[in-house]
A and B are shown apart, each in its own frame.
Chain A
Amino acid sequence: MRMVMTGNYASAYGAKLARAEVIAAYPITPQTSIVEKLAEFVSSGELKAKFIPVEGEHSAMAACIAAQTAGARTYTATSSQGLTLMHEVLMWASGARLPIVMTNVSRAMAPPWNVWVDHMDTVAQRDTGWLQFFCRSNQEVLDTIIMAYKICETSGVMLPAMIVEDAFILSHTSEPVDVPEQALVDSFLPAYSPELKLEVGKPMGFGSLVKPDQYMEFRYKAMLGMKEARERILRVEQEFKHIFGRAHGGLLDLYKCADADVVMVAAGSVAATAMDVVDAMREKGMRVGLARIRAFRPFPHEEFRSLAGKTEGIAVLDRSFTFGAAGAMFTEVKSSIYSCQKRPVVKNYIAGLGGRDITPKILEKIFEDMLVVSKRGAEDEVEWVDVAGLPRRWR
Protein backbone atom coordinates (compact mmCIF):
# COMPACT_ATOMS: atom_id res chain seq x y z
CA MET A 1 0.00 0.00 0.00
CA ARG A 2 1.37 3.42 -0.92
CA MET A 3 1.36 5.89 1.97
CA VAL A 4 2.80 9.35 2.48
CA MET A 5 5.21 9.28 5.39
CA THR A 6 8.36 10.73 6.92
CA GLY A 7 11.65 8.87 7.09
CA ASN A 8 11.04 8.34 10.78
CA TYR A 9 7.70 6.67 10.15
CA ALA A 10 9.37 4.61 7.40
CA SER A 11 11.78 3.37 10.09
CA ALA A 12 8.92 2.55 12.44
CA TYR A 13 6.98 0.71 9.72
CA GLY A 14 10.17 -1.15 8.75
CA ALA A 15 10.69 -2.38 12.31
CA LYS A 16 7.00 -3.30 12.58
CA LEU A 17 6.99 -5.25 9.31
CA ALA A 18 10.18 -7.03 10.41
CA ARG A 19 8.25 -8.04 13.56
CA ALA A 20 10.76 -6.66 16.06
CA GLU A 21 10.00 -8.38 19.36
CA VAL A 22 11.79 -6.07 21.78
CA ILE A 23 12.20 -2.32 21.30
CA ALA A 24 14.25 -0.34 23.82
CA ALA A 25 14.81 3.33 23.18
CA TYR A 26 15.38 6.78 24.61
CA PRO A 27 14.03 9.86 22.80
CA ILE A 28 16.34 12.36 21.10
CA THR A 29 15.74 14.98 18.43
CA PRO A 30 15.22 14.19 15.55
CA GLN A 31 14.69 10.46 16.21
CA THR A 32 11.75 10.82 18.62
CA SER A 33 8.88 10.19 16.21
CA ILE A 34 10.32 6.76 15.33
CA VAL A 35 9.87 5.45 18.85
CA GLU A 36 6.64 7.41 19.37
CA LYS A 37 5.15 5.59 16.39
CA LEU A 38 6.48 2.23 17.55
CA ALA A 39 5.11 2.83 21.07
CA GLU A 40 1.75 3.51 19.41
CA PHE A 41 1.97 0.27 17.40
CA VAL A 42 2.76 -1.69 20.56
CA SER A 43 0.06 -0.09 22.73
CA SER A 44 -2.62 -0.58 20.07
CA GLY A 45 -1.63 -4.21 19.70
CA GLU A 46 -0.72 -3.80 16.02
CA LEU A 47 2.81 -4.91 16.89
CA LYS A 48 3.32 -7.72 19.35
CA ALA A 49 6.48 -6.52 21.06
CA LYS A 50 7.89 -5.58 24.43
CA PHE A 51 8.57 -1.84 24.54
CA ILE A 52 11.19 -0.86 27.13
CA PRO A 53 11.48 2.86 27.91
CA VAL A 54 14.97 3.32 29.36
CA GLU A 55 16.89 6.13 31.06
CA GLY A 56 19.46 6.66 28.32
CA GLU A 57 20.96 5.33 25.10
CA HIS A 58 23.64 3.23 26.78
CA SER A 59 20.81 1.40 28.56
CA ALA A 60 18.75 1.16 25.36
CA MET A 61 21.56 -0.72 23.64
CA ALA A 62 22.24 -2.80 26.77
CA ALA A 63 18.56 -3.86 26.85
CA CYS A 64 18.67 -4.78 23.15
CA ILE A 65 21.84 -6.80 23.74
CA ALA A 66 20.24 -8.73 26.61
CA ALA A 67 17.01 -9.39 24.68
CA GLN A 68 18.85 -10.39 21.53
CA THR A 69 21.08 -12.74 23.55
CA ALA A 70 17.88 -14.36 24.82
CA GLY A 71 16.82 -14.95 21.22
CA ALA A 72 14.52 -11.98 20.52
CA ARG A 73 14.67 -9.82 17.40
CA THR A 74 15.36 -6.29 18.64
CA TYR A 75 15.25 -2.76 17.29
CA THR A 76 16.26 0.66 18.57
CA ALA A 77 16.81 4.13 17.18
CA THR A 78 18.94 7.08 18.19
CA SER A 79 20.86 10.09 16.93
CA SER A 80 24.07 12.06 17.45
CA GLN A 81 24.93 12.44 21.16
CA GLY A 82 22.78 9.38 21.86
CA LEU A 83 24.68 7.23 19.39
CA THR A 84 28.04 8.30 20.75
CA LEU A 85 26.87 7.59 24.30
CA MET A 86 26.21 4.02 23.09
CA HIS A 87 29.76 3.61 21.81
CA GLU A 88 30.95 1.14 24.44
CA VAL A 89 27.95 -1.16 24.08
CA LEU A 90 27.98 -0.93 20.27
CA MET A 91 31.27 -2.82 20.50
CA TRP A 92 29.62 -5.38 22.78
CA ALA A 93 26.78 -5.95 20.30
CA SER A 94 29.17 -6.78 17.48
CA GLY A 95 31.65 -8.76 19.60
CA ALA A 96 28.79 -10.82 21.02
CA ARG A 97 27.66 -11.34 17.40
CA LEU A 98 24.13 -10.04 17.93
CA PRO A 99 22.27 -8.98 14.75
CA ILE A 100 20.52 -5.97 16.32
CA VAL A 101 19.11 -3.43 13.85
CA MET A 102 19.09 0.27 14.70
CA THR A 103 18.19 3.48 12.91
CA ASN A 104 20.55 6.37 13.46
CA VAL A 105 19.13 9.72 12.42
CA SER A 106 22.45 11.28 11.49
CA ARG A 107 22.88 14.64 13.19
CA ALA A 108 25.75 16.99 14.06
CA MET A 109 27.83 16.56 17.20
CA ALA A 110 27.91 19.38 19.73
CA PRO A 111 29.25 21.91 20.42
CA PRO A 112 28.15 24.05 18.71
CA TRP A 113 24.77 22.62 19.64
CA ASN A 114 23.01 21.65 16.42
CA VAL A 115 20.25 19.18 15.56
CA TRP A 116 20.60 19.14 11.76
CA VAL A 117 22.08 16.68 9.29
CA ASP A 118 25.79 15.85 9.51
CA HIS A 119 27.46 12.43 9.35
CA MET A 120 29.99 12.88 12.17
CA ASP A 121 28.01 10.70 14.61
CA THR A 122 27.78 7.79 12.17
CA VAL A 123 31.34 8.07 10.90
CA ALA A 124 32.64 8.13 14.48
CA GLN A 125 31.17 4.61 14.95
CA ARG A 126 32.72 3.05 11.86
CA ASP A 127 35.13 0.89 13.87
CA THR A 128 32.50 -0.66 16.14
CA GLY A 129 31.84 -3.69 13.92
CA TRP A 130 28.36 -2.58 12.79
CA LEU A 131 27.18 -2.67 9.20
CA GLN A 132 26.33 0.91 8.21
CA PHE A 133 23.85 1.79 5.47
CA PHE A 134 23.25 5.35 4.27
CA CYS A 135 19.84 5.97 2.65
CA ARG A 136 18.71 8.54 0.13
CA SER A 137 14.93 8.13 0.38
CA ASN A 138 12.27 7.12 2.89
CA GLN A 139 11.50 4.06 0.77
CA GLU A 140 15.11 2.98 1.06
CA VAL A 141 14.95 3.42 4.85
CA LEU A 142 11.96 1.07 5.17
CA ASP A 143 13.35 -1.49 2.73
CA THR A 144 16.85 -1.47 4.21
CA ILE A 145 15.59 -2.18 7.73
CA ILE A 146 13.79 -5.28 6.48
CA MET A 147 16.81 -6.33 4.41
CA ALA A 148 19.24 -5.67 7.27
CA TYR A 149 17.63 -8.29 9.51
CA LYS A 150 17.92 -10.86 6.74
CA ILE A 151 21.51 -9.88 5.90
CA CYS A 152 22.64 -10.05 9.52
CA GLU A 153 20.65 -12.99 10.93
CA THR A 154 22.70 -15.73 9.37
CA SER A 155 25.41 -17.76 11.05
CA GLY A 156 27.99 -16.50 8.55
CA VAL A 157 27.35 -12.84 9.47
CA MET A 158 25.71 -12.38 12.91
CA LEU A 159 26.66 -8.70 13.21
CA PRO A 160 24.49 -5.67 14.00
CA ALA A 161 23.38 -3.09 11.42
CA MET A 162 22.84 0.66 11.53
CA ILE A 163 20.44 2.30 9.06
CA VAL A 164 21.28 5.96 8.57
CA GLU A 165 18.60 8.59 7.91
CA ASP A 166 19.68 12.20 7.36
CA ALA A 167 18.25 14.45 10.10
CA PHE A 168 15.14 16.35 9.00
CA ILE A 169 15.88 15.98 5.27
CA LEU A 170 14.67 12.39 5.54
CA SER A 171 13.51 12.08 9.15
CA HIS A 172 10.86 14.80 8.95
CA THR A 173 10.13 15.08 5.23
CA SER A 174 7.14 13.22 3.82
CA GLU A 175 7.42 11.16 0.67
CA PRO A 176 5.28 8.48 -0.93
CA VAL A 177 6.41 5.10 0.41
CA ASP A 178 5.25 1.66 -0.65
CA VAL A 179 4.48 -0.26 2.53
CA PRO A 180 4.58 -3.94 1.60
CA GLU A 181 2.04 -6.50 2.78
CA GLN A 182 2.95 -8.23 6.03
CA ALA A 183 2.54 -11.66 4.44
CA LEU A 184 5.03 -10.74 1.73
CA VAL A 185 7.57 -9.54 4.31
CA ASP A 186 7.01 -12.75 6.32
CA SER A 187 7.79 -14.83 3.24
CA PHE A 188 11.03 -12.88 2.79
CA LEU A 189 12.14 -12.67 6.43
CA PRO A 190 11.76 -15.79 8.59
CA ALA A 191 11.62 -15.62 12.41
CA TYR A 192 14.91 -15.10 14.22
CA SER A 193 16.35 -18.32 15.59
CA PRO A 194 19.98 -18.12 16.71
CA GLU A 195 22.03 -21.28 17.17
CA LEU A 196 22.87 -20.36 20.76
CA LYS A 197 20.86 -18.23 23.14
CA LEU A 198 20.28 -17.62 26.83
CA GLU A 199 17.95 -20.21 28.29
CA VAL A 200 16.58 -20.38 31.81
CA GLY A 201 17.03 -24.13 32.09
CA LYS A 202 20.55 -24.06 30.71
CA PRO A 203 22.58 -21.25 32.27
CA MET A 204 25.57 -20.01 30.26
CA GLY A 205 27.87 -17.03 30.24
CA PHE A 206 28.08 -15.08 26.96
CA GLY A 207 31.10 -13.01 25.98
CA SER A 208 33.14 -14.37 28.85
CA LEU A 209 36.85 -13.83 29.55
CA VAL A 210 39.28 -15.01 26.93
CA LYS A 211 43.03 -14.86 27.47
CA PRO A 212 45.66 -13.62 24.99
CA ASP A 213 46.04 -17.16 23.65
CA GLN A 214 42.50 -17.15 22.21
CA TYR A 215 41.33 -13.53 21.74
CA MET A 216 42.58 -13.04 18.19
CA GLU A 217 40.67 -16.03 16.83
CA PHE A 218 37.38 -14.43 17.93
CA ARG A 219 38.27 -11.12 16.27
CA TYR A 220 39.29 -13.01 13.13
CA LYS A 221 35.87 -14.65 13.08
CA ALA A 222 34.15 -11.24 13.33
CA MET A 223 36.27 -10.07 10.39
CA LEU A 224 35.04 -13.08 8.41
CA GLY A 225 31.47 -12.14 9.36
CA MET A 226 31.88 -8.67 7.89
CA LYS A 227 33.47 -10.13 4.79
CA GLU A 228 30.52 -12.48 4.36
CA ALA A 229 28.15 -9.52 4.92
CA ARG A 230 29.51 -7.99 1.72
CA GLU A 231 28.31 -10.94 -0.39
CA ARG A 232 25.16 -11.33 1.64
CA ILE A 233 24.09 -7.69 1.02
CA LEU A 234 24.19 -8.33 -2.72
CA ARG A 235 22.36 -11.67 -2.53
CA VAL A 236 19.65 -10.45 -0.17
CA GLU A 237 19.02 -7.42 -2.34
CA GLN A 238 18.52 -9.67 -5.38
CA GLU A 239 16.02 -11.70 -3.42
CA PHE A 240 14.32 -8.52 -2.20
CA LYS A 241 14.07 -7.25 -5.74
CA HIS A 242 12.53 -10.51 -6.88
CA ILE A 243 9.79 -10.30 -4.24
CA PHE A 244 9.20 -6.55 -3.90
CA GLY A 245 10.24 -5.33 -7.34
CA ARG A 246 12.83 -2.76 -6.29
CA ALA A 247 16.49 -2.53 -5.29
CA HIS A 248 18.71 0.25 -4.03
CA GLY A 249 22.14 -0.33 -5.53
CA GLY A 250 24.08 -2.82 -3.42
CA LEU A 251 27.09 -1.41 -1.59
CA LEU A 252 27.92 1.32 -4.09
CA ASP A 253 24.99 2.70 -6.08
CA LEU A 254 26.35 3.88 -9.45
CA TYR A 255 24.49 6.51 -11.47
CA LYS A 256 25.70 7.26 -15.00
CA CYS A 257 29.29 6.33 -14.18
CA ALA A 258 30.00 4.06 -17.17
CA ASP A 259 31.38 6.82 -19.43
CA ALA A 260 31.89 9.55 -16.82
CA ASP A 261 34.99 11.77 -16.99
CA VAL A 262 34.50 12.61 -13.33
CA VAL A 263 32.47 10.95 -10.63
CA MET A 264 31.14 12.39 -7.41
CA VAL A 265 31.09 10.18 -4.32
CA ALA A 266 28.39 11.05 -1.79
CA ALA A 267 26.27 9.37 0.88
CA GLY A 268 22.78 10.03 2.19
CA SER A 269 20.11 12.42 0.97
CA VAL A 270 22.50 14.74 -0.90
CA ALA A 271 23.04 11.89 -3.37
CA ALA A 272 19.42 12.32 -4.52
CA THR A 273 20.10 16.00 -5.29
CA ALA A 274 23.32 15.02 -7.04
CA MET A 275 21.42 12.71 -9.41
CA ASP A 276 19.44 15.70 -10.68
CA VAL A 277 22.65 17.69 -11.06
CA VAL A 278 24.23 14.84 -13.04
CA ASP A 279 21.23 14.86 -15.40
CA ALA A 280 21.35 18.65 -15.84
CA MET A 281 25.09 18.68 -16.51
CA ARG A 282 24.86 15.82 -19.00
CA GLU A 283 22.27 17.83 -20.91
CA LYS A 284 24.94 20.50 -21.23
CA GLY A 285 27.36 17.91 -22.58
CA MET A 286 29.47 17.27 -19.47
CA ARG A 287 30.08 13.59 -18.76
CA VAL A 288 29.67 13.31 -15.01
CA GLY A 289 28.41 10.53 -12.76
CA LEU A 290 27.56 9.72 -9.18
CA ALA A 291 28.77 6.86 -6.97
CA ARG A 292 26.59 6.76 -3.88
CA ILE A 293 28.10 5.04 -0.87
CA ARG A 294 25.21 2.94 0.41
CA ALA A 295 27.24 0.61 2.62
CA PHE A 296 29.98 2.44 4.51
CA ARG A 297 30.66 -0.77 6.48
CA PRO A 298 31.49 -3.11 4.87
CA PHE A 299 33.20 -0.57 2.61
CA PRO A 300 32.80 -1.12 -1.17
CA HIS A 301 36.54 -1.46 -1.88
CA GLU A 302 36.10 -3.72 -4.90
CA GLU A 303 33.51 -1.44 -6.47
CA PHE A 304 35.82 1.56 -6.11
CA ARG A 305 38.73 -0.34 -7.60
CA SER A 306 36.66 -1.17 -10.62
CA LEU A 307 35.45 2.45 -10.89
CA ALA A 308 39.03 3.80 -10.71
CA GLY A 309 39.92 2.45 -14.14
CA LYS A 310 36.94 4.10 -15.81
CA THR A 311 37.18 7.72 -14.70
CA GLU A 312 39.69 10.57 -14.59
CA GLY A 313 38.61 12.23 -11.37
CA ILE A 314 36.73 11.41 -8.19
CA ALA A 315 35.23 14.18 -6.07
CA VAL A 316 34.49 12.83 -2.60
CA LEU A 317 31.86 14.80 -0.73
CA ASP A 318 32.12 14.32 3.02
CA ARG A 319 29.44 15.57 5.38
CA SER A 320 31.81 15.24 8.33
CA PHE A 321 35.45 15.93 9.05
CA THR A 322 38.05 13.89 10.90
CA PHE A 323 40.24 16.48 12.60
CA GLY A 324 43.91 16.04 11.90
CA ALA A 325 43.16 14.05 8.74
CA ALA A 326 40.39 14.62 6.15
CA GLY A 327 36.88 13.45 5.39
CA ALA A 328 36.57 9.76 6.32
CA MET A 329 35.01 8.75 2.99
CA PHE A 330 37.84 10.47 1.14
CA THR A 331 40.57 8.57 2.99
CA GLU A 332 38.68 5.29 2.46
CA VAL A 333 38.20 5.89 -1.26
CA LYS A 334 41.86 6.79 -1.68
CA SER A 335 43.08 3.74 0.21
CA SER A 336 40.75 1.52 -1.86
CA ILE A 337 42.26 2.57 -5.17
CA TYR A 338 45.90 2.92 -4.15
CA SER A 339 46.83 -0.50 -5.51
CA CYS A 340 45.14 0.14 -8.88
CA GLN A 341 47.27 0.47 -12.02
CA LYS A 342 45.36 3.54 -13.14
CA ARG A 343 44.53 5.99 -10.39
CA PRO A 344 42.24 8.95 -11.02
CA VAL A 345 42.77 12.29 -9.26
CA VAL A 346 40.85 12.30 -5.97
CA LYS A 347 39.78 15.46 -4.16
CA ASN A 348 37.85 15.91 -0.94
CA TYR A 349 35.05 18.45 -0.57
CA ILE A 350 33.84 19.07 2.99
CA ALA A 351 30.29 20.39 2.79
CA GLY A 352 26.93 20.56 4.50
CA LEU A 353 28.11 20.26 8.10
CA GLY A 354 25.48 20.97 10.75
CA GLY A 355 22.66 20.99 8.22
CA ARG A 356 24.13 23.62 5.89
CA ASP A 357 22.30 23.24 2.57
CA ILE A 358 24.24 21.59 -0.22
CA THR A 359 22.39 23.17 -3.15
CA PRO A 360 22.37 21.92 -6.77
CA LYS A 361 24.47 24.97 -7.63
CA ILE A 362 27.15 23.97 -5.12
CA LEU A 363 27.19 20.39 -6.47
CA GLU A 364 27.49 21.76 -10.02
CA LYS A 365 30.47 23.90 -8.96
CA ILE A 366 32.11 20.87 -7.35
CA PHE A 367 31.70 18.93 -10.61
CA GLU A 368 33.11 21.89 -12.60
CA ASP A 369 36.07 22.17 -10.23
CA MET A 370 36.69 18.43 -10.50
CA LEU A 371 36.61 18.53 -14.30
CA VAL A 372 39.50 21.02 -14.13
CA VAL A 373 41.34 19.32 -11.25
CA SER A 374 41.11 15.89 -12.94
CA LYS A 375 43.33 17.24 -15.75
CA ARG A 376 45.97 19.09 -13.75
CA GLY A 377 45.82 17.59 -10.24
CA ALA A 378 44.54 19.14 -7.04
CA GLU A 379 46.47 21.96 -5.36
CA ASP A 380 44.62 21.36 -2.11
CA GLU A 381 43.46 17.80 -1.65
CA VAL A 382 40.84 18.84 0.91
CA GLU A 383 38.64 21.86 0.35
CA TRP A 384 36.00 23.21 2.71
CA VAL A 385 32.97 24.28 0.70
CA ASP A 386 30.84 27.35 1.39
CA VAL A 387 32.65 28.61 4.49
CA ALA A 388 32.24 32.35 5.13
CA GLY A 389 35.64 34.05 5.06
CA LEU A 390 37.23 31.74 2.50
CA PRO A 391 37.96 33.34 -0.89
CA ARG A 392 36.10 30.92 -3.18
CA ARG A 393 32.43 31.75 -3.81
CA TRP A 394 30.07 28.80 -3.92
CA ARG A 395 26.65 30.47 -3.95
Chain B
Amino acid sequence: MTKSYEEITLTPISDTPSTMNITGLWRVVKPVVDKEKCKKCTICWKFCPDAAITLVDGEPIVDLRYCKGCGICAFECPSKCIIMVKEGEQ
Protein backbone atom coordinates (compact mmCIF):
# COMPACT_ATOMS: atom_id res chain seq x y z
CA MET B 1 0.00 0.00 0.00
CA THR B 2 1.53 3.29 -1.10
CA LYS B 3 1.89 5.77 1.73
CA SER B 4 1.42 9.49 1.26
CA TYR B 5 4.64 11.48 1.05
CA GLU B 6 3.52 13.15 4.28
CA GLU B 7 3.48 9.87 6.20
CA ILE B 8 6.99 8.65 5.33
CA THR B 9 10.45 9.45 6.75
CA LEU B 10 12.90 11.59 4.73
CA THR B 11 14.78 8.51 3.58
CA PRO B 12 13.58 4.92 3.92
CA ILE B 13 14.56 3.59 7.34
CA SER B 14 14.10 -0.03 8.21
CA ASP B 15 14.15 -1.47 11.73
CA THR B 16 14.10 -5.05 10.51
CA PRO B 17 17.66 -6.40 10.36
CA SER B 18 18.96 -7.86 7.11
CA THR B 19 18.89 -11.29 8.79
CA MET B 20 15.14 -11.20 8.09
CA ASN B 21 16.01 -11.52 4.41
CA ILE B 22 16.23 -15.29 3.85
CA THR B 23 18.54 -15.21 0.83
CA GLY B 24 18.96 -19.00 0.87
CA LEU B 25 15.84 -19.19 -1.29
CA TRP B 26 17.89 -17.84 -4.21
CA ARG B 27 20.18 -20.88 -4.21
CA VAL B 28 20.50 -23.33 -7.11
CA VAL B 29 23.57 -25.21 -5.87
CA LYS B 30 24.66 -25.73 -2.27
CA PRO B 31 28.08 -26.30 -0.69
CA VAL B 32 28.72 -29.67 0.91
CA VAL B 33 31.76 -29.92 3.20
CA ASP B 34 33.77 -33.14 3.43
CA LYS B 35 34.71 -33.10 7.12
CA GLU B 36 37.37 -35.76 6.66
CA LYS B 37 39.34 -33.61 4.22
CA CYS B 38 38.75 -30.23 5.98
CA LYS B 39 41.95 -28.86 7.58
CA LYS B 40 40.11 -26.14 9.54
CA CYS B 41 42.05 -23.39 7.76
CA THR B 42 38.98 -21.02 7.99
CA ILE B 43 39.54 -19.64 4.47
CA CYS B 44 35.91 -20.43 3.47
CA TRP B 45 34.67 -18.58 6.56
CA LYS B 46 36.77 -15.52 5.67
CA PHE B 47 35.67 -15.44 2.03
CA CYS B 48 31.93 -16.06 2.40
CA PRO B 49 30.39 -12.76 1.20
CA ASP B 50 27.17 -13.39 3.13
CA ALA B 51 28.70 -14.42 6.45
CA ALA B 52 26.69 -17.62 6.04
CA ILE B 53 29.50 -19.82 7.37
CA THR B 54 30.10 -20.13 11.11
CA LEU B 55 32.91 -22.07 12.76
CA VAL B 56 32.14 -24.73 15.31
CA ASP B 57 35.34 -26.07 16.87
CA GLY B 58 37.10 -24.66 13.82
CA GLU B 59 34.90 -26.56 11.40
CA PRO B 60 32.76 -24.69 8.85
CA ILE B 61 28.99 -24.99 9.23
CA VAL B 62 27.02 -23.48 6.34
CA ASP B 63 23.80 -21.70 7.29
CA LEU B 64 21.58 -22.70 4.40
CA ARG B 65 18.97 -20.09 5.34
CA TYR B 66 21.34 -17.46 3.98
CA CYS B 67 23.81 -19.26 1.65
CA LYS B 68 23.07 -18.10 -1.93
CA GLY B 69 25.16 -20.89 -3.42
CA CYS B 70 27.73 -18.58 -5.00
CA GLY B 71 30.48 -21.21 -4.69
CA ILE B 72 33.23 -18.85 -3.53
CA CYS B 73 33.97 -21.15 -0.56
CA ALA B 74 34.41 -24.15 -2.84
CA PHE B 75 36.61 -22.16 -5.22
CA GLU B 76 38.85 -20.84 -2.44
CA CYS B 77 39.17 -24.04 -0.38
CA PRO B 78 42.82 -25.17 -0.69
CA SER B 79 42.09 -28.76 0.31
CA LYS B 80 39.16 -29.04 -2.12
CA CYS B 81 36.89 -30.34 0.61
CA ILE B 82 33.85 -28.28 -0.46
CA ILE B 83 31.84 -29.31 -3.51
CA MET B 84 28.79 -27.58 -4.96
CA VAL B 85 25.81 -29.90 -5.33
CA LYS B 86 22.63 -29.12 -7.25
CA GLU B 87 19.66 -28.54 -4.95
CA GLY B 88 17.58 -31.70 -4.74
CA GLU B 89 20.55 -33.96 -5.56
CA GLN B 90 22.89 -35.64 -3.10
Q: Which of B1-18 contact A (CB under 8 A)?
A: 1-5, 8-18
Partner of A210, one of B4, B12, B16, B18: B12
Partner of A214, one of B3, B10, B16: B3
Contacts of A340 in B (CB 8 A): none
Q: Which of A33-41, A77-85, A216-224, A325-333 contacts B (4 or more CB under 8 A)?
A: A216-224
Contact, CB under 8 Å: B3 / A96: no
Contacts of B9 in A (CB 8 A): 196
Partner of A218, one of B8, B14, B17, B18: B8
A214 (CB) vs chain B CBs: closest residue:
B2
Partner of B13, one of A95, A155, A205, A213: A205
Q: Does A323 contact B (CB under 8 A)?
A: no
Q: Does A113 contact B (CB under 8 A)?
A: no
- A155 to B15 CA separation, bound complex (whole angstroms): 21
A198 (CB) vs chain B CBs: closest residue:
B13
A223 (CB) vs chain B CBs: closest residue:
B5
Contact, CB under 8 Å: A96 / B2: no
Contact, CB under 8 Å: B8 / A213: no
Partner of B12, one of A155, A218, A220: A218
Contact, CB under 8 Å: B18 / A205: yes
A196 (CB) vs chain B CBs: closest residue:
B13
Contact, CB under 8 Å: A221 / B12: no
Q: Is the interface of B mostly helix, strand, loop or mixed?
A: loop
- A95 to B12 CA separation, bound complex (whole angstroms): 9
Contact, CB under 8 Å: A221 / B13: no
Contacts of A205 in B (CB 8 A): 13-18
Of B11, B13, B18, chain A has the most CB atoms within 10 Å of the CB of B11
Q: Does A158 contact B (CB under 8 A)?
A: yes
Contact, CB under 8 Å: B3 / A206: no
What 18 new A-B contacts, CB under 8 Å, besides A206-B13, A217-B2, A217-B8? Answer: A95-B11, A97-B11, A155-B10, A202-B15, A204-B15, A205-B14, A205-B15, A205-B16, A208-B12, A210-B12, A213-B2, A214-B2, A214-B12, A217-B3, A218-B8, A218-B11, A221-B8, A224-B5
The 8 closest A-B pairs by CB, nearest first: A97-B10, A205-B14, A217-B5, A208-B14, A96-B11, A213-B2, A220-B5, A210-B12
Can you list 26 A-B pairs, Cβ within 8 angstroms, ordered by A?
Answer: A96-B11, A97-B10, A155-B10, A158-B10, A196-B13, A202-B15, A203-B17, A205-B13, A205-B15, A205-B18, A206-B13, A207-B12, A208-B12, A208-B13, A214-B2, A214-B3, A214-B12, A217-B2, A217-B8, A218-B5, A218-B8, A218-B10, A218-B12, A220-B5, A221-B10, A225-B10
